[in-house]
Structure 1
Amino acid sequence: MGEQSVPEQGQDGANTDLGQDRAHSARMYDYYLGGKTNYAVDREAAQQVIRVFPAIESVARVNRAYMHRAVRYLAQQGVRQFVDVGTGIPTAPNLHDVAQEVAPECRVVYVDNDPIVLVYADELLDGSPQGQTGYVQADATEPEEVWAAVKEQGILDLDRPVALSLHALLHFVIDAQEPYDIVRRLLAPLPSGSYLSLSHCTGDFDPAAWQAITDTYTQRGTPVQVRNQPEVQRFFDQYGLELVEPGVVLAHQWRPEAGSGPGVLIERQVSLYAGVACKP
């Protein structure tokens, strides 16, 4: 795979600059997961993070396993509509695979503003014939833009409960961008009985390492802000959401299942809070 920044064809046939000349958080995450949708510049940046914090690969796998469990739980609770904001590069099984395994009629809309995700979007649209999947390009920091794009798809009925997924997204939204207000606006159109599921990196258990990680991402053009447990909890508390047991916990502790994610882990190796809550 070439390292030079060259345009590639998007779904609409237009040339798209995928930025292969600079490290990208989604491709670095793909590398942590053992994927192949990454370039030398991404691997170099990811290796820099790994040298500082070797457990970052476990964090990525724990996040993925948490997503699978949360989606499965929500589908088992009767949720049939999902919006996944900050989708990233497809990694099977994707959210719709998990939801539609429980209930084939589930409908899923993926949202991302990254051109590279658009290139691979076909992998997000292979859902069950009983259900429906869609992909829209929109920026998570512009909630009204997100919902306008989702509504235009015509896949979801926003008068019925929706599960909003913000997995490993909000640590890329720094305080200056008003992340709590963004989440409030993303939740605003959703009816009673909808859910919020999120995961968020934390420096609570190794502040020095996570400061170095933050510096690495920021120096390469992707500002990062990790948050402590009360700050992550605030995403739920300020809206009166009703947390599902066990609340906001380290992601591997959220309704663990045998064989889900890496083996026995200590807190430092996870460094990721997660939770699910219902909108009353």
Structure 2
Amino acid sequence: MAVSTDTLPESSVAGPAKTDAVQPRIVPVRRTGQWAAAVVVLLLLAGAVSSVVRNDAFQWDVVGDYFTSASVLRGLGLTLWLTAVVMVLGFALGTLLAVMRLSANPVLRNVSRGYTWLLRSTPILVQLLFWFNIGALYPQILGVKTVNLLSPVTIAIIGLTLHEAAYAAEVVRGGILSVERGQIQAAESLGLGRRRRLRRIVLPQAMRSIVPPAGNMLIGTLKGTSIVSVIAVQDLLYSVQLVYHRTYQVVPLLLVATIWYVVVTSLLSVAQHYVERYYARGTAGAR
């Protein structure tokens, strides 16, 4: 049956489609609701900030007077020093506990599991008060009176370190378990010993998983050191407490401590970002 080309549409006899045809215009989706919500949030935020800044009850002049006072800076220095010591000792002990937990020896494995279970099951305040009253249980250790041996700062270091080690052990263990088994098998095939495998192969790769929770632990430890004020350690919080107990200017002195905590934790967050990026080199997480 013959079909006349006169009755066919022009497109059916014109050969291939034209490459210079006009493309449809892409119209972006209008997100009116999202922009309206953003404006409302910004207005509420601006109102909250304005109310805080313009409220005379906050006594910002007093905040400025005590922000860099000698007593506050001494307390800040002790807080930073205590945080650094506790994190170093806590992660050293936590790494040892993590290795024990992954050991084939059932005694080491269960001792590590029991330590982690006990220290994570009791509040840090209870642990500190226990160590503060250790003299009632052991008046003397190796012939030395514990009252003279353990100062409040020493008790704070012991209590916080043992507490942080329990959490650090789980962080390190999780990081070690995140390393692919093939990497360890390759190291074994090269004849590397267990310690060398851990130090040269496992831990460098595990750091990608360890650094983010370790950074959170560092910030948590910095803020958690404020609890040592209950045993009269003159950290940042205890220093401002001594001032407002004398001047009765509670709110502005608490603002001094709050602003210092915000400043330091912000700097630690920036440092954490760069450390994470360093260990994420060569991976999709590097940015």
User: TM-score, normalized by length of structure 2?
Assistant: 0.23
**Higher strand fraction (1 or 2):** 1
Please identify the structure whose Cα radius of gyration is greater: 2
**Higher helix fraction (1 or 2):** 2
User: TM-score, normalized by length of structure 1?
Assistant: 0.23
Q: Which has the higher contact order (CA 8 A, sep 6+)?
A: 2
